[in-house]
């Protein structure tokens, strides 16, 4: 099973990621 995750660079530093196939699945760090 492959799931696409999109990683974004946060404006205030660090990163956050979302998984479009899983609504509400978000992480940051």
Count: domains in the chain: 1
Whether the pTM exceeds 0.75: the reply is no
**Residue-level pLDDT at 14:** 94
**Residue-level pLDDT at 29:** 82
Beta bridge partners of 27: 17
- Domain assignment of residue 21, given as a range: 1-29
Q: How confident is the model over 4-27, as pLDDT tens digits?
A: 999 999 999 999 999 999 999 988
**Residue-level pLDDT at 28:** 87
Residues 14 and 21: their CA atoms lie apart, in Å, by 23
**Residue-level pLDDT at 5:** 95
Residues 13 and 29: their CA atoms lie apart, in Å, by 9
């Amino acid at each position: 099973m492959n799931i696409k995750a999109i990683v974004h660079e946060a404006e205030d530093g660090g990163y956050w990621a979302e998984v479009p196939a899983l609504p509400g699945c978000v992480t940051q760090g």
